[in-house]
Amino acid sequence: MQILPARAKKAHGVSLSIVPIFLLVLCIMGSMALVANRAAMRQQAFELDREKRQLTQSLGFEAESLLAAVARDEGLGELFQVQRSRETLERLLAALNRRQATDYAILIAKSDGHLLAEAGETETFSRRSAFMRRLVDSARMRGLDTTTIGIGREARVLQDGQGAFALATMPIGRSIILAVTRPIGAGALRRFSTMLAIPNLRLVGGEAPTETSIAVPGLAGEPVMSLVWMPSRAAAETLTDLAIFGLSASIGIAIVALVLFRRMRASTEALLMREAKASHEARHDPLSGLPNRAVFCDTLAENIEDLPNRDSSIAVLLLDLDKFKDVNDIYGHAAGDKVIVDFGNRVRALLRQTDMIARLGGDEFAVMQTGIRSHGETTWLAQAIIDAANRPFVMDGATMQIGVTIGISFAPDDGLEIAAILRAADTALYRAKNEGRNRFALYEHRMTESERIRKLVDDELRGAIDRDELTLVYQPQVHAENGRIASVEALVRWRHPSYGLISPATFISAAEERGLIVPLGQWVMRRACLDAARWPGLRVGVNVSAIQFRQQNFVRDVARTIEEAALEPGRLELELTEGVLVEDADQAEAAMVELRSIGVKLALDDFGTGYSSLIYLRRFAFDKIKIDKSFLDSMEATGESAILVHSVVHLGRALGLEVTAEGVETEEQRRFLQAVGCHFLQGYLFSKPVSADAIDEMLRAEAEADRGTTPPLSAA
């Protein structure tokens, strides 16, 4: 008897213990292989049955969709007027064919089966007409109900010996039946193939012997055509390919698998869960579960690539919720989240299987609508989405009301690049917002100038202010008696790198509407004070909007700006219009008293254009009035405007106010204003608005004139 060492016994015991485990693993794997093979065969049969059912339903859906499309046709009502000639009816049927992409339409009298009118493609007209006559005879339609050959759910797919087509019939009035057909060609088969993930779908003549085929019956019920497709690789074949490799590899990994199984199972499950979650989150919005922007753009790109193979368009709808911020502010973010989810579900219920909705972020969504043959299909969807958004949203008994604004663009009409299509839809969305929100707008290739500027203000003006990209120009105000510069008026300019010089009247009014006038006004005042600090003794005028003036901290901001620029307060002149004073006269008066207390000068701009200027002069402490240039544009020496200017100048002097006339452009105007006693003049006769460096040159020229080196400056 041989005695083995303890270590050898242990190793032998381990090896012996591995044998039954290995045999057990082999038995289990063999059993699993048999079960898998049986399951694969059952799965193959199940998949084949499923594909046949899906194709059968799709063929029926093709006929149902044809009937639904014809029933919605707005021109169908003309066929109700039966007192028409055959030629007129055939023309109407031809128009119906064009609109609905059908190839044959026929009107038949129910009472006697008489053919009233027919229209169709030239190559299918004769045989389709004969086929329809046989169909009428076989259905015995004389005096019977119209459902005899199929209406609604009974609409069918038939064939006429040459090709398969969808057939739908419907009553027109009490005595006429309309029958229409649409060929099931390569386009429809490609759509079914894409939608059902069934490759190589095609129609062949006769009855195909393969399992992956469906017979299409003729009028007599015999199979005359077959729908054939290429099945995906069967599970049994895949199992066979893997069997040899799996059996050989299993022997090598069985022992290791038994040892590592417990540890690997837990870690693998956790890893798979993390990967699945990460993959889903990368392609879907975590709140609504809708596809995100990346998925939307990828899908849109795929559909654009397939456009050359289609005779239809793609519509992109950008959706922006109205009043959504109010929901968050009033009811909380939980309510806002519910609105997002419910809105997404409402829109998804309106879409077809081939359409798509995605959440781009926040309260912005996008919808892609494929297979568009007319803009009316998309506008109908847009209005349906608006109606859905207008229905109340309810959470915990609270009723929330929102709306939606929609911008629409089309491919290929508005471009074939994703960026161009989305930009066009965004432009249309912006137009719809400007027109009042809770509506839709289609992209037009030419935006109005005002819309372009307003969008530019929205997108870039705030950044231009923050980046100090604006500039100031100054227009001198000269003494009437000698033409020397007394003060300058600061005017803001925006020279955009792409759009060039943008009119101040345009972007300032847009800034007021978009809530940017306050930071813009603060920037102008700060820059003007810094420039004025280099011109000793010269006063600088800054226009102040009503919105800026009514800010609670306006006086404090003015004082801080003067201090930071090291400018004497008396050299800053704020130009106010009557609009500043109208809304809250008491608040305006208090602010003006504070400004006067720190030494800032105040001027009433555009004097004479309002209806109560004299009241303002009596109540508010202005230092200057500025006569609006409209009085000078048509002024004649003996005209009414001249009389008014003369009166205003004398009124200002009588009240101890300085008087400045704006818009002086001719020597005759200058002489008249000097004669009536106007203190200061401003206009193109002396200088256009110029840069701060140009003001330096003008002041230097005046100084040299004082020393007698150059003639004094009287006009520029």
Summarised one tens digit per residue, pLDDT across range 264-274 is: 777 777 887 88
pLDDT, position 695: 94
This prediction has a pTM of 0.46
- Its CATH architecture, for the domain 73-184, is 2-Layer Sandwich (3.30)
Higher-confidence position of 666 and 125:
666
Amino acid at 126: S
**CB-side exposure of 527: number of CA atoms within 13 Å?**
23
pLDDT, position 273: 82
Give the mean pLDDT of 700-713.
72
Crossing angle of helices 504-513 and 517-532, rounded to 10°:
130
Answer whether 73-184 and 455-706 agree in fold.
no
Average pLDDT score, the chain: 80
What is the fold, at CATH topology level, of the domain defined by 293-447? Alpha-Beta Plaits (3.30.70)
pLDDT at 296 over 50: yes
pLDDT, position 697: 93
Higher-confidence position of 377 and 60:
377
Lowest mean pLDDT of 24-38, 43-57, 317-331, 557-571, name the range.
24-38
At 48, is the pLDDT very low, low, confident or very high (cuts 50, 70, 90)?
Answer: confident
Lowest mean pLDDT of 234-248, 303-317, 456-470, name the range.
234-248
DSSP class of residue 79 equals G
At 237, is the pLDDT very low, low, confident or very high (cuts 50, 70, 90)?
Answer: low
pLDDT at 441 over 80: yes
Give the mean pLDDT of 550-569.
93
Using a pLDDT cut of 90, give the percent of the chain over it. Answer: 30
- Encode 81-137 in three state secondary structure: CCCCCHHHHHHHHHHHHHHHCCCEEEEEECCCCCEEEEEECHHHHHHHHHHHHHHHH
pLDDT, position 3: 38
- Encode 505-551 in three state secondary structure: HHHHHHHHHCCCHHHHHHHHHHHHHHHHCCCCCCEEEEECCHHHHCC
* Rounded Cα distance, 591 and 524, in Å: 20
Nearest Cα to 28, choosing from 282, 250, 190, 231?
A: 250
Q: Kindly give the residue spans of alpha helices, DSSP state H, lying in 435-516.
A: 449-456, 462-466, 504-513
Give the mean pLDDT of 580-591.
82
**CB-side exposure of 25: number of CA atoms within 13 Å?**
20
**Adjacency order of strands within the sheet including 176-183:** 115-120, 104-109, 176-183, 164-172, 156-159
Among 116-125, 153-162, 295-304, top mean pLDDT goes to 295-304
pLDDT, position 244: 62
Structure-token match 């057909």, residue found: 181
Nearest Cα to 444, choosing from 425, 462, 457?
A: 425
pLDDT, position 220: 60
- Encode 192-222 in three state secondary structure: HHHHHCCCCCEEEECCCCCCCEEEEECCCCC
* Rounded Cα distance, 482 and 466, in Å: 41
- Give the E-state strand segments of 556-657 in sequence order: 572-576, 601-607, 624-627
Enumerate residues 6+ apart whose C-beta is below 8 A from 42: none
Amino acid at 401: Q
Among 146-160, 610-624, 641-655, 700-714, top mean pLDDT goes to 641-655
pLDDT, position 16: 43
Helices (H) and strands (E) in the chain, counts: 23, 24
pLDDT, position 149: 45
pLDDT, position 256: 65
* Rounded Cα distance, 369 and 673, in Å: 68
Give the mean pLDDT of 441-459.
70
At 330, is the pLDDT very low, low, confident or very high (cuts 50, 70, 90)?
Answer: confident
Give the mean pLDDT of 358-381.
92
What is the fold, at CATH topology level, of the domain defined by 455-706? TIM Barrel (3.20.20)
* Rounded Cα distance, 491 and 520, in Å: 12
Structure tokens at 227: 């729908």
pLDDT digits (tens, 9 = 90+) for 617-640: 777 888 999 988 888 876 764 567
Residue-range domain boundaries for the chain:
6-57+243-272, 73-184, 293-447, 455-706
pLDDT, position 233: 57
Lowest mean pLDDT of 71-75, 155-159, 481-485, name the range.
155-159
Crossing angle of helices 449-456 and 418-434, rounded to 10°:
100
pLDDT at 522 over 90: yes
Helix (H) or strand (E) run with residue 345 in it: helix 333-350
